Chain A
Amino acid sequence: MIYIFALAISWLFATAGTSALPYLHVLGVTPDFVLIFAACFAVLRSQDEALLVVPLAGLLRDLATSDPVGTSLLGFAPLVILATATHLRSMDSQFVPAVAVVATGTACHAAISILVLVLTGQNIAFGHALVQIVLPLTLVNSLFAAIVYLPMSWIPRAGRPRIISRSSMA
């Protein structure tokens, strides 16, 4: 059930990302809600669920945009690894790790997207892309993470990642 729900939300965010959200400009960029959702999902849910949902969310994003199919599939992969890294440390709230994963994941996704676009013959001005797109997008996605994180944290805790605390390790 959670898989269907997650994929439906991803599809809706991907569709909104090319239709309604381009009207929303913050610091000259549009927040990437598919990435934010995938990152929050990977942090809040179990690794088993993230391993399936995160790449499929990337695939849905690719199908909605003009990017070559597979770009976000690759670009979202670091989200799962980053989320796994956050599970290794005990924290009272998962919000700060989620924001950290969103920020780092945005930068990783942008780097992979640039690489794919350059390899497929697109013209990218690296300096402008970094200053005008990547840095503002990292900031904006991190700010918008709260909007996605909060409703997702209300989902029942069954299936949430098991936090490895110092006491359980001892």
Chain B
Amino acid sequence: MRLVWWLATVMAIGLISIVLSERGTLSPLRNLSLTASSPVERELRDLASPIHNVFEGITDRGNLADENDRLKEELDALRVQLAEQQNAVQRIKELEDALGVKQSRPEDLLKAANVIAEDRSGFKRLIAIDLGQDDGLDEGMVVLSRSGSLIGTISLIYADFAWVRLITDPDSTINAQVNVAPEEPSVGDVATPATPAPDTSATPPASPQPIALSTEPVRAVAKGELRRGILLDLLPSDSRVVRGDLVVTSGHGGNYPRGLLIGSIEYVDERPQAPFKTATIAPAANLSGLDTVLVLINFRPARLISP
């Protein structure tokens, strides 16, 4: 009989606590708890991280050599792309100035935060950071990795701490677009670039270079998934998305700024007769070993500024 009473009491307290927690009444208690535990959590993370790295290095030694070679190749390719993009950015800026168009993303104001805890034991993928409302953060703000790729949004906020919902969390949904790599041009598409001014110097003229055919970005929805990490859904069946294509935020809906890197296409699932394709995205940021993240504080998500 005593056990029945105990069970009834625990159930009552548990249900009341859940309701209060959802209403935010228990936020000060949670903030206090994180304040007390954060120094210990930091120490434990600092202790566990090198040990984990050592074990990972031993178990993945074979893969690391291959990965190193692959990354070197990618780095070379990216350097070439970077040079091309710097030219393109400069050109866009000149055109925007000439046309008086407002820049879609002016200078980002970022605030660095330390990751103090992770909640990935169960059905969610969240991390806790050591900044909160008192630091100017708000629910829904966008969080980036140190390299600037998207890692999530703030989902729970307390005075001094916040929980960030990662892009791999099942509740994460992002309007995305795939920057489809341009098709290989046919012989007829080969021509001299139009933009550079005629070279009057003594150096010989450059040989004709293939012009990349411009392609419309493919819009889709990136959803977090426990099994596959990030799933790109609602891809049009006629889109030519392939492994390695970059996926960025589209800016639709106003909850994310446009052009934030989410990751790259890892696998495309095509089914005949299906109206849409799906794809798996490999996140650009290493979400399992985050120690410092950046909160984008000058971008206000639409759900925060709408009445």
Q: Which 8 A-B pairs have the closest CB atoms?
A: A70-B17, A20-B48, A18-B117, A74-B14, A19-B41, A63-B33, A23-B52, A20-B44
Contact A30 B123 (CB under 8 A): no
Pairs A–B under 8 Å by Cβ, sample size 5: A20-B45, A21-B121, A63-B33, A65-B121, A125-B226
- Indicate whether A157 reaches chain B with its CB closer than 8 angstroms: no
- Give the complex CA separation of A101 and B180 in angstroms: 53
- Give the complex CA separation of A132 and B225 in angstroms: 11
- Indicate whether B163 reaches chain A with its CB closer than 8 angstroms: yes
* Shortest beta-carbon distance from B48 to chain A in Å: 4
Point out the residue from A29, A64, A116, A132 that lies within 8 Å of B18, measured CB to CB: A116
Give the interface size bracket for B toward A. 35 or more
Q: How many residue pairs at the A-B interface have CB separations less than 8 Å?
A: 137
- Give the complex CA separation of A116 and B14 in angstroms: 11
- Give the complex CA separation of A122 and B171 in angstroms: 6
Contact A65 B119 (CB under 8 A): yes
Contact B156 A77 (CB under 8 A): no
Q: Provide the B53-76 mask, 1 if CB < 8 A to any CB of A, else 0.
A: 000000000000000000000000
A residues touching B (Cβ–Cβ < 8 Å)?
A: 11-12, 14-24, 29-30, 32, 47, 51, 55, 59, 62-71, 73-74, 77, 80-81, 84, 110, 113-114, 116-117, 120, 122-125, 128-129, 132-133, 137
- Indicate whether B213 reaches chain A with its CB closer than 8 angstroms: no
- A120 and B37 in contact, given A19-B45, A20-B44 (Cβ under 8 angstroms): no
Chain B facing A: main interface SS: helix
* Shortest beta-carbon distance from A82 to chain B in Å: 12
* Shortest beta-carbon distance from B76 to chain A in Å: 33
**A16 to B, closest residue via Cβ:** B44
Q: Provide the B197-219 mask, 1 if CB < 8 A to any CB of A, else 0.
A: 00000000000000000000000
Residues of B within 8 A of A125 (CB): 170, 225-227
Q: Provide the B25-36 mask, 1 if CB < 8 A to any CB of A, else 0.
A: 010011001000
* Shortest beta-carbon distance from B161 to chain A in Å: 11
